[in-house]
Amino acid sequence: MGRTRSPPIRSARPRCRLRLQGLPARSARRDSDRIDRCFREHRDPGPRTSRRIRHQASPRHASPAPIGSPDRRASTRDPSRHRRTLPALQRTSRADGSPTPTRRYFRCARPPPATHPKCHRPGSLRHDPIANMRLLLVGAFPYPHNQGSQIYFQEQAIALRSLGAEISLLTYGEANSGGHPEAKARSAQYWRALDGFDHHRSPKWTAPTTTRAGPSWSKPLADLGLAMTLRDAIASHSGDDAFDAILTHNAEATLTALHVLDRPRPPILYCAHTLLGQELSAYLRGPKTNSFIDKHNLVDSAGRIANLLNRLGGGIDDWMARRVDGWIALTHSAECVMRQDETRPGAQIPPAVPDPMVHPGRLEPDAIARSQHLEPNGFLLYSGNLDGYQELDILCEAAAQLASRPSGHRMPLVIASHSDRSVVGWSDSMPGVEFRRVESVAEMQALLASARASLLLRRTGGGFPIKLVNSLAAGTPVIAFREREWGLEHEVNSLIGSPLRPVESLVAAIERIKGDDLLARRLALGARQLYLARHQPEPGAKQLLALIGRLTQSKARG
């Protein structure tokens, strides 16, 4: 049976029809301009009422007169032309009072997009489909925690949520020895990391027994629990409630997602915190510091085992770069590895932290330094993790050389940590270095802001120390061994030592910044400017959302 067509809708003008019959051809379905013309020229709401098209009242659009009323305005349309003109009273005039030439329009004038009631304002995120995404952030670590990976994970989630995305978190469960409940309950930072997030944790019986970075015997069981929780989370969010993308942090989370989730699945975007090809062998180091520095090789090799670990880690990096749907690199070397497959969208986005200068919970740096029995601006601070990956043996040998010099004033070398156990494990093997324990992230940030300089001893590429971002945000100069890798510039915002001569170059940099106040102030200003240019949360989150938008669009086309 054929379709019945409704009678044509007639306008107020005689012998004139609007092409708005039932089920018109596809090319003739956009007739809003014809309806607007009928209303503007004849004050005729009939077609709008019949088609249930709502008309927005405004000062330019008065209430229409009834059909057949003498108040109905005559049409200004020239029958001999297809163009339309405005009535004479609506034409603008020049300054001398003479009317301007008649304006001709091919389409009816409409309010600009910025003021149209159905159009969003430029930059508005309420109607932006990219900002309304549902994202699942998967981290292969306990959360929340004060280590760098967890801080990066936390700030990324908060920044994405502030731009309108709906964020869910999935991490390891908490270990039985993972901190004091009373201290966590009093910590504003702890609740800031969890406030407003749907947090999925793996079962407690699979939680790792240690929060130390690097391989451990409890990690395989923790990864099994992560896989079980990830599969359940994806299965419970399907249809309209499905996640638009999965952001995996660390290689363990990425490998778990690639092996556990069957297609079709949400696209996986890998946040490469580091490169396994350069990281695995570094964990052979430990608190014993008598034979770890190899002055003739950039990467410390401990024989065939280290070389085997490097090749194994590099193979895993290459495999993940070819399997994931997209990626984020924190450093230049990680970007080079991930770009080997040009079909996978990705970008280098440096990590970001909130500005401590405007943070409401900011502590007074000088008061915190004195509470730790330190002179403000009179000590050098290392505030990172305490593991072999950080190459703390370089600091140990540098401290021994500085102690043997006959200089009158020695600037203390201080290591600050949140863990009593780590301090005890390392303090006995590092004479000449002072250790301090801090209670919270805010106290660590204040201590970092009061230091003369921040020490970054890691020579291994691939990763980006979050303590470096904290130092730049606090306006504290940096002494490091990587320049382009981390976006630093020698003698502008940092002092860069030689990776081939780490101890000698570190001692020289310490002596230089200790005796030159003008240099220290100039580097502090450059560090703060670098933070404002590269490491604020909002620009990085916008770049990440744009990348996820491209990823989901390419996934939909594929």
Average pLDDT of span 143-163: 92
DSSP string, 463-521: ---HHHHHHHHHT--EEES-SGGGT--BTTTEEE--TTSHHHHHHHHHHHHHH-HHHHH
Q: What is residue 473's predicted lDDT score, i.e. its pLDDT?
A: 95
* Domains in the chain: boundaries: 7-55, 134-352+538-557, 365-535
Average pLDDT of span 398-407: 84
**Across 53-62, 68-77, 457-466, 492-501, least confident range:** 53-62
**CA 337 to chain CA mean position, Å:** 20
Percent of the chain with pLDDT over 70: 66
Q: How many Cα atoms sit within 13 Å of 97 on the Cβ side?
A: 0
Q: What is residue 504's predicted lDDT score, i.e. its pLDDT?
A: 94
Query: For 537-557, what is each residue's pLDDT tens digit?
Result: 999 999 999 999 998 887 776
More confident residue, 215 or 319: 319
Spatial CA neighbour of 492 closest among 510, 473, 472: 472
Q: What is residue 167's predicted lDDT score, i.e. its pLDDT?
A: 94
Q: Do domains 134-352+538-557 and 365-535 have the same CATH topology?
A: yes
**Across 201-210, 228-237, 284-293, 316-325, least confident range:** 284-293
Q: What is residue 514's predicted lDDT score, i.e. its pLDDT?
A: 92
Average pLDDT of span 525-536: 96
How many CB atoms neighbour CB 448 within 10 A? 23
**Across 45-54, 130-139, 236-245, 256-265, least confident range:** 45-54
Average pLDDT of span 157-170: 94
**Across 116-120, 362-366, 447-451, 517-521, least confident range:** 116-120
pLDDT-derived band at 508, boundaries 50, 70, 90: very high
Q: Which helix (DSSP H) or strand (DSSP E) does residue 278 occupy?
A: helix 276-279
At residue 490, does pLDDT exceed 90? yes
May I ask the CATH architecture of the domain 134-352+538-557? 3-Layer(aba) Sandwich (3.40)
Average pLDDT of span 411-435: 77
Percent of the chain with pLDDT over 90: 45
Question: 161 near 131, Cβ under 8 Å?
Answer: no
Query: For 42-72, what is each residue's pLDDT tens digit?
Result: 555 554 444 444 445 455 555 555 555 555 5
**Across 110-124, 150-164, 289-303, 361-375, least confident range:** 110-124
Average pLDDT value for the chain? 77
Query: For 103-115, what is each residue's pLDDT tens digit?
Result: 443 344 444 444 3
Average pLDDT of span 516-535: 95
Buried b / exposed e over 389-417, threshold 16 CB at 10 Å, is bbbbbbbbbbbbebeeeeeeeebbbbbbb
Question: 267 near 326, Cβ under 8 Å?
Answer: yes
Q: What is residue 321's predicted lDDT score, i.e. its pLDDT?
A: 93
pLDDT-derived band at 214, boundaries 50, 70, 90: low
Spatial CA neighbour of 61 closest among 85, 37, 31, 82: 37
**Tokens for 354?**
């909130």
Q: CA 283, CA 93: separation in Å to the nearest integer?
A: 80
At residue 77, does pLDDT exceed 90? no
Q: What is residue 386's predicted lDDT score, i.e. its pLDDT?
A: 81
Q: What is residue 521's predicted lDDT score, i.e. its pLDDT?
A: 95
Class (C level, CATH) for 365-535: alpha beta
pLDDT-derived band at 176, boundaries 50, 70, 90: low
Average pLDDT of span 188-211: 84
